[in-house]
Amino acid sequence: MTKAEDLIREYIREGHMMQLASVSGEQPWICTLYFVADDELNLYWASLPTRRHSQEITAHSSVAVAIPVQFQQGKKVIGLQIEAKATQLTGADITPAAQLYAERFGRDATWVDDIARGKTEHRMYRCTPELIVLFDEQHFPHNTRIEWRP
């Protein structure tokens, strides 16, 4: 692994909030979501299927994600921008994602079971990165924009 890939993995693993951009026709939309990632860098979140971003993902799976890493005034900027495909999870894919999410955000086994069985209005979603751009003024001051494909 390269230093950039190591940092990307670290930033995604340690992150918990992202901005997700979806689109309908020619109109973009962005929202802020809590997320968790697996070892393959898939991003997972729970959301209502009635939310605008959920409806747009159902119609068009191409999305963009921004994950701010370091953004305090006076510090070097670090962040990730991601091109990805997103989908609502179904079947056997739901439970592992819900368990990851539950571990990160303090949900219990009942919450996981309710999500998996469709007993709650929330659904689990997955974002699979196709391109990750690392913008890192701290570790790469002379080449702040590094592209990586997982």
CATH code: domain of residue 9 = 2.30.110.10
Q: Nearest-CA neighbor of 90 among 117, 54, 66? A: 117
Query: Which residue type sits at 54?
Result: S
- In the predicted structure, residue 82 carries a pLDDT above the cut 80: yes
pTM: 0.95
Query: What was the pLDDT predicted at 109?
Result: 96
Domain of residue 27: give its range: 3-148
Query: What was the pLDDT predicted at 31?
Result: 98
Query: Which residue type sits at 97?
Result: A
Q: Indicate the number of domains in the chain.
A: 1
Q: Could you give the CA distance from residue 50 to residue 56 in angstroms, rounded to a whole number?
A: 10
H or E, element range at 67: strand 62-70
Q: How far from 7 is each of 51, 76, 133, CA to CA, in Å?
A: 32, 15, 11
